[in-house]
Structure 1
């Protein structure tokens, strides 16, 4: 999907940055920034205030890649990602309600008594059936 604003790219990693090593690998990947060139200037990377982002090693790794890391203040992620507060939040609440009902039903059936005593993890088939019912497919 092409970026709609010239000079601005929005990228997300497949998982959250747990440590500086993973973040450094992501920064160095071409998918992060796209192909470089002789006229590429300094880039600015806006991140939340997770510990791996603000580490001195992260800053040093970014500097070698002509990147300036700007860290957002605590508790401001929802201002930059308002969808998390609105539509995504409603979807999460819906999924939690459905999954909670599934877990309650499993406990009533006694499924928690087998093996370690933990409930079985939700399988893809359950998730796909739930998605189909939610979307009316």
Structure 2
């Protein structure tokens, strides 16, 4: 397990947070560890990942809607995503290969030793607070455009 993941796992244990399933990616050169969970928005459970590896970045990724981009709505949803990306600095929306709408948050987390990450858990959870508020404010409008 990489150092950031060890620090984050300790944070979760200390705070008695049991919302994540942890998976170490085998044979990954960046030693990626995936923390799987979900956030609830408008009664929907949105699959959520925290991705920690040896790079200077950490990611929070949320699948907002599977199969959100279709032939019928492609132009409208691409415009929507572009507008959102221009407005909101910390969040990037995009569509994966299957057409799912994904939201990524990239956190700068440089360091190589445990002492380099004293606030990692609080930073991730602080961003979750901002992320959930953002989703609560925008989710309904996105779904109207998608469906």
* Structure with more of its chain in helix, by fraction: 1
Q: Which has the larger radius of gyration?
A: 1
Q: Is TM more than 0.5 here?
A: no
* Structure with more of its chain in strand, by fraction: 2
Could you say which TM-score interval applies, normalised by the shorter chain?
under 0.3
Query: Normalized against structure 2, the TM-score is what?
Result: 0.24
